[in-house]
Chains A and B, each alone.
Chain A
Amino acid sequence: MTLLSVRNLRVTFPTRQGTFEAVRGVSFDLGRERLGVVGESGSGKSMTGRSILGLVRPPGLVTADRMQLEGQSILNLPERKMRKIRGRRISMVMQDPKFSLNPVMSIGDQIVEAYRLHAGGARAAARQKALDMLAAVQIRDPERVMQAYPHEVSGGMGQRIMIAMMLAPDPEILIADEPTSALDVSVRTEVLNIMDRLVRDRGMGLIFISHDLNLVAQFCDRVLIMYAGRIVETLAARDLHQARHPYTRGLLNSLPRLDAPQDRLPVLQRQDSWRDGDPIAESLETEFPGGL
């Protein structure tokens, strides 16, 4: 079943030198799966995520032939309607918990506020829900963490708290923008396990935005490769190492590898044709080839 369907998404910004197109005609469907979006900085992967949530600020302009959440259009909804979707039906986890949590509010109050905003209900029930969510993201001492302020917790715990807060209203889709890039490798595995379990147990759709190709290949079901605002290749994650697009291949080759030492790393030779050439993808209408 398609949770989210996007066709020909474009995000443009007027500049003094003319219009800058950050996203240039992106199309994809998201089911109850882990969908990876990879690309370098400036490839438009974060803008794609933000535009789905209506977080592109003017003068930025979002257009699309279609942007539907379970059949209902969510393109350029008025802010009042968007607020009913954002957080409740589609949630987003950002890269760095340090900048996403309110520094002058206790963690418990923040989760309770976020939850009641979307689900309403009594304060005591919301508090219980917050405790349950913290336990769900493997925080051992939720009572203590509820009292704590963001500066008193580590980066890994901050990120788990963000995930707890975003998942309290039980969204159908979670957009995670580099959720583990600021974390150490050992904590990273824990955070990924938590998200993995949520996709499986709740049937959530996950859009996982990352620059880390290998991580995406291991964690996701399906991968979109973005270059200069377009999807240049779509692959089942397990086939990433059989990628055919020269950009994807170039990115993979430029990574140093412990198991395959080499004197010099191959450097990506960018081609103009990547900007506008034909993308390599299965037909869009095929339902989630790598998904459930």
Chain B
Amino acid sequence: MLTVEHLNVWFGHPPARVDAVKDAGFTVAPGESFGLVGESGSGKSTILRAIAGLIDTWSGRIEVAGQPVAARRRDRAFYKTVQMVFQDPYASLHPRHSVDAVLSEALRLQGMDDIDRRIARLLDDVGLGRGFRFRYPHQLSGGQRQRVAIARALAAEPRLLLLDEPTSALDVSVQAEILNLLSDLRAEHGLTYVMVSHDLAVVGHMCDRLAVMQQGRIVEVMTVEDLRRGAARQDYTRQLIAASAGYQRA
């Protein structure tokens, strides 16, 4: 479904150029859920944004569903296949657009018809119900906002969903609801996920395989079973797992 080869992403110009991602490569099979983990600044979100076409200073090869993607402008067909859900549901929804406006815009951009019925179904899909259709973001809780953001991504009926820390701004009880929703949607719609998270437990719950990133490089690609067994090959991964396990008094 997704192939990334020799991906380099940089910002700025020399001498101030920053190489945010260096020679990253991985593949994600159709229907798989793939995690990208690492500390802040490791380049995990940057990879996601390069795939989504939000950054155009990259080199290498990105293939989605067998098609190489363009470096700059992506066409409508691309966004019909690939959609993204962002970290902060407080920032990713326009404060003055109602849920109805957000969803109908996304549907119209994809040239969908029968918008009325589709909005109702999207709201059902994300467990909001039709009563939420004419609400504004400030009338929604964080979890409800993230459900709207997920509905917006699903509007295009994509096959690959890019999830950038979709629950890290939410309370743990709400996180559980959103993770369950994402699992259900993946099963129902046969979606492929690439999920960025700093939380190994969340990735362990949601994903089949994961890549561990450090300073712009992928240091290890492993299965979640290996992660659970603590069978990391790299020192850095072991440190990350140990640090995530919590605090041991010195």
Contact = CB atoms under 8 A, between A and B. Distances in A.
Interface of A: 40-41, 155, 184-186, 188-189, 192-193, 196-197, 211, 213-215, 218-219, 250-251, 254-259, 261-268
A188 B244 CA distance: 10
A78 B243 CA distance: 44
A250 B177 CA distance: 12
B201 to A, nearest CB: 5
Nearest to A247: B173
A40 B172 CA distance: 8
Contact residues on B (Cβ < 8 Å of other chain), bracket: 20 to 34
A255 B227 contact: no
Contacts of A251: 172-173
B135 interface: no
B227 A258 contact: yes
Contacts of B205: 256, 261-262, 265
Contact of B39 (A185, A256, A258, A261): A185
Given A188-B243, A189-B247, A259-B228, A254 B39 contact: no
B174 to A, nearest CB: 8
A239 to B, nearest CB: 16
Contact of B179 (A155, A214, A256): A256
Interface centre among A155, A197, A265 (most CB of B within 10 A): A265
A149 to B, nearest CB: 18
Contacts of B247: 188-189, 192, 215, 218-219
B120 interface: no
Instruction: Summarize B's interface: helix, strand, loop or mixed.
Output: helix
A185 B173 contact: no
B248 interface: yes
B176 interface: yes
A219 B248 CA distance: 8
Nearest to B248: A218
Interface centre among B179, B205, B243 (most CB of A within 10 A): B205
Contact of A265 (B142, B176, B227): B176
Contacts of B69: none
A265 B142 CA distance: 19
Contacts of A193: 250
Nearest to A219: B247
Nearest to B171: A40
B113 to A, nearest CB: 35
Contacts of A261: 204-205, 228
A285 to B, nearest CB: 28
